[in-house]
Amino acid sequence: MAGSRPKVGVLALQGDFREHLNVLRRLGADAVPVRRPAELDDVDGLVIPGGESTVMDKLSRAFGLRDPLIARISAGMPVYGTCAGLIMLSSEVLDAAQGQQTLGGLDVTVRRNAFGNQNDSFETDLETPELGLPPVHAIFIRAPVVTRVGAAVTTLATLPDGRVVAVEQGDLLGTAFHPEVTNDTRFHRRLLERIAAG
């Protein structure tokens, strides 16, 4: 990590990677798109954005990124996954497409499209004690939900009905919602703190 400016990659195969790049740059990070293994080698941490998890999975294999991603995650690189990114980081996916694979790292089970289709998108405020006040204003778009949380995983936020929508395990962070489209930068800051601590 050069000086105090972390170099943070955003997986830019598909999805809303530009929004994450903008947030990270506003927070002072050197944020770069990652599409190739050599670009992944050069970053201190990574964001896996929202999008279509099945397409991201296929493209990560087509671009030769799947194995390098798994290796960096296993080696402790801080990673934050939103929506499809949370699915990519999970150890198990319910309602997965045929042949769909994940990168793993987070000991959680998630259900794809748990809230229905695009028309069933919604917004709500979430209590997040680990991040302090005010509550997080969360936007859910074709979002997954965490149905099982492993022993080493910390739950960061739940819906009022108890369904888990934000988790953390070591240097891995995942949310079912999209902080990059609101002005709440606390999850991105948390990733940057993990990178700085490393």
Is 180 marked active-site?
yes
Q: Examine residue 134 and say whether the peptide bond preceding it is cis (omega within 30 degrees of 0).
A: yes
Q: Which of 49, 60, 6, 27 is closest to 183 using CA atoms?
A: 27
Task: Return the percent helix, strand and coil in the chain, to nearest 5.
Answer: 30, 30, 40
Of the candidates 19, 20, 168, 180, the residue annotated as catalytic is 180
Catalytic residue among 20, 83, 168, 188: 83
Residue type, 18: R
Number of Cβ within 10 Å of residue 40's Cβ equals 20
- Which residue stretches of 5-120 are H helix? 17-26, 37-41, 53-62, 66-74, 84-89
| Residue among 19, 168, 178, 188 flagged as catalytic | 178
83 is catalytic: yes
Separation of CA 146 from chain center: 13
Strands 164-169, 154-158: pairing kind? antiparallel
Q: Is 168 a catalytic residue?
A: no
Angle at 133 between CA 128 and CA 138, to 5 degrees: 50
Question: For residue 32, which of 58, 59, 2, 61 has the smallest C-alpha distance?
Answer: 2
Cβ atoms within 10 Å, residue 57: 23
Which positions are annotated as active-site residues?
A: 83, 178, 180
